[in-house]
C-alpha cells in the first residue's frame, strides 16, 4: 500500500469515528487494530524511503568524487529536518512545544520547511495545468530573462579554424519580472488540534496551493499588466493579423479555426496549444467539421486535440474565447516561498491561516499568441 493510500484510509477511519457516536466496543477494537497496522506500514515506508535517499546520495557523491557522508551523519541531518518540520506545524496548529522545540522557531512567520514548500509548488502545477505549460521559474527576488524571438539555423564550422559565425539574425527580448502578492485566508475551528502533523500538512498544502494557483492562473490569462501581472489577453489583438473575430449570432466556423491556425507564425507552431474553457470547447468547437466531414476536435481518453494541437482547459478563460499559442513564450516567476502566517480568533474560537505567494508574469513574445473571440 502506498503512503497516500495509508493516509486516505486513516482519514476515512477518523471520519468514521467522528460521525458515529454509538460505535460498539467490537467496532472500536477493530478500528484500533487497523490503525495500528496502518501506522506500522507507514513507518516501514518512511524507513525505506530514508534508506533509499541515503543510498542515492552516497552514489551521487561517489560519482562526483567527493567524500561520502556517513549514514549516521545523513540520518542526523534528516532527523533535524523532520524535527523542524514537526515544530513548524505544531506551532501553526497551536500545539504546546517543548523547550527544545521552542528553540527551533521563535517567530509567528517561521521559514516554511523546504519539503513543504516543494509540495505546495508541485501541487500548484498539478492543480493548474497552465502553470506547467508556461516558462515558470522559482527564483527568489526580481528576475530578468532573455527570450529568443527569431533565430537562424546553426552554421557549419571548419574544425580548428577561427572566426566562428555569430548569429546576427537572432533577436533576444528581455523580460523583467517583479512580484505581486497573492493571498489566501483560511479559517478553521480549534478541532484542528486533533489532526496529526502529516494530515494537517496535507490539508494546508491542498488548500493554499489550490486557491493561490487558481488566482495566478486567472492573472496569467486576464491580468491587465497595469501594476499587476500581464496576462495573455492583455496583448493587443487585431482581426486577421493575430486575432479572429467570429460572428456571435451564427457561431464559430471551421474556416475561423483554420484562419487562426494560419495566423500563428511557423516558428511558434511546434509546441503550440489551444487554451479555452470546457464550455467553449463543447459549445463552439465540438460540432465543427472540415470539408471532408471530419471532426475538428479529436478525443483521446481525457485529452482533446484541434487540428492536432492539444487543448488546455481553464475555467479562467472567458466564454466563447480561445487562444492558440506557444505558452513557453509566457514567462512567470514565483519569486518567494509561500509564507504561512497564523492567528487565533477568540471571538469564533478558531485559527486563521494566511498563505502569501509572490508572483509576476508576462508574455515574452506577443506574436506567439492568436486570439479567437466574438470581439477583440
- Which pLDDT tens digit goes with each residue over 275-305? 999 999 999 999 999 888 899 999 999 999 9
Best mean pLDDT range from 32-36, 90-94, 248-252? 248-252
Coil, helix or strand at residue 220: helix
Residues above pLDDT 70, as percent of the chain: 80
Q: What is the rounded average pLDDT of the residues 206-221?
A: 90
Give the residue with greater pLDDT, 15 vs 320: 320
pLDDT computed for residue 109 by the predictor = 47
In a domain, 49, yes or no: yes
CB-based contact 330:361 (threshold 8 Å): yes
Q: 272: which 3 cell numbers?
A: 503550440
CB-based contact 182:215 (threshold 8 Å): yes
Handedness of CA 207, 211, 212, 213 (dihedral sign): positive
CB-based contact 136:329 (threshold 8 Å): no
Residues 177 and 318 in one domain: no
Task: Report the DSSP pairing between strands 180-189 and 350-363.
Answer: antiparallel
Residues 45 and 78 in one domain: yes
Task: Please give the model's pTM, rounded to 2 decimal places.
Answer: 0.69
pLDDT computed for residue 108 by the predictor = 45
The dihedral region occupied by 320, where left means phi > 0, alpha psi between -120 and 50, and beta the remainder, is: left
**Torsion of the alpha carbons at 228, 112, 61 and 76, rounded to the nearest 10:** 180
Task: Tell me the pLDDT of the chain averaged across its residues.
Answer: 81
Q: What is the rounded average pLDDT of the residues 62-68?
A: 53
pLDDT computed for residue 43 by the predictor = 77
Residues 27 and 90 in one domain: yes
358's enclosing H/E stretch is strand 350-363
DSSP codes of every residue in 136-154? EE--SS-EEEEEEEE-PPP
Q: For residue 343, give its domain range.
A: 114-152+166-223+333-363
Residues above pLDDT 90, as percent of the chain: 33
Residues 190 and 69 in one domain: no
Residues 218 and 141 in one domain: yes
Give the residue with greater pLDDT, 71 vs 253: 253
Which residues are CB-neighbours of 24 under 8 A, at least 6 positions away? Answer: none
**Torsion of the alpha carbons at 103, 107, 109 and 115, rounded to the nearest 10:** -10
pLDDT computed for residue 348 by the predictor = 84
Question: How many domains does one find in the chain?
Answer: 3
pLDDT computed for residue 125 by the predictor = 83
Amino acid at each position: 500500500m502506498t503512503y497516500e493510500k495509508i493516509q486516505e484510509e486513516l482519514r476515512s477511519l477518523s471520519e468514521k469515528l467522528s460521525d458515529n457516536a454509538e460505535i460498539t466496543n467490537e467496532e472500536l477494537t477493530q478500528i484500533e487494530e487497523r490503525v495500528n497496522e496502518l501506522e506500522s506500514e507507514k513507518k516501514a515506508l518512511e524507513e525505506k524511503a530514508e534508506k533509499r535517499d541515503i543510498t542515492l546520495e552516497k552514489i551521487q557523491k561517489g560519482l562526483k568524487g567527493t567524500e561520502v557522508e556517513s549514514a549516521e551523519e545523513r540520518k542526523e541531518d534528516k532527523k533535524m529536518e523532520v524535527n523542524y518540520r514537526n515544530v513548524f506545524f505544531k506551532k501553526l496548529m497551536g500545539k504546546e512545544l517543548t523547550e527544545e522545540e521552542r528553540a527551533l522557531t521563535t517567530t509567528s512567520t517561521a521559514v516554511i520547511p523546504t519539503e513543504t514548500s516543494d509540495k505546495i509548488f508541485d501541487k500548484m502545477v498539478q492543480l493548474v495545468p497552465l502553470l506547467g505549460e508556461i516558462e515558470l521559474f522559482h527564483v527568489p527576488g526580481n528576475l530578468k530573462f532573455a527570450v529568443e524571438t527569431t533565430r537562424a539555423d546553426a552554421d557549419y564550422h571548419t574544425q580548428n579554424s577561427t572566426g566562428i559565425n555569430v548569429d546576427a539574425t537572432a533577436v533576444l527580448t528581455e523580460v523583467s519580472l517583479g512580484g505581486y502578492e497573492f493571498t489566501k485566508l483560511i479559517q478553521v475551528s480549534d478541532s484542528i488540534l486533533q489532526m496529526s502533523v502529516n494530515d494537517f500538512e496535507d490539508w494546508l498544502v491542498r488548500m493554499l496551493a489550490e486557491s493561490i494557483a487558481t488566482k495566478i492562473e486567472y492573472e496569467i490569462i486576464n491580468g491587465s499588466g497595469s501594476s499587476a501581472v500581464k496576462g495573455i489577453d492583455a496583448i493587443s489583438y487585431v482581426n486577421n493579423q493575430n486575432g479572429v473575430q467570429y460572428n456571435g449570432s451564427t457561431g464559430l466556423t471551421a474556416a475561423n479555426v483554420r484562419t487562426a491556425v494560419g495566423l500563428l507564425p511557423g516558428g511558434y507552431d511546434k509546441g503550440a496549444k489551444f487554451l479555452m474553457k470546457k464550455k467553449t470547447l463543447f459549445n463552439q468547437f465540438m460540432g465543427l467539421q472540415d470539408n471532408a466531414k471530419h471532426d475538428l476536435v479529436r478525443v483521446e481518453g481525457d485529452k482533446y486535440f484541434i487540428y492536432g494541437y492539444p487543448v488546455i482547459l481553464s475555467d479562467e478563460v472567458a466564454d466563447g474565447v480561445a487562444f492558440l499559442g506557444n505558452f513557453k513564450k509566457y514567462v512567470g516567476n514565483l519569486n518567494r516561498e509561500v509564507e504561512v502566517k497564523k492567528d487565533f480568533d477568540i471571538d469564533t474560537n478558531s485559527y486563521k491561516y494566511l498563505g502569501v505567494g509572490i508572483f509576476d508574469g508576462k508574455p515574452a513574445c506577443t506574436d506567439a499568441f492568436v486570439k479567437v473571440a466574438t470581439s477583440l
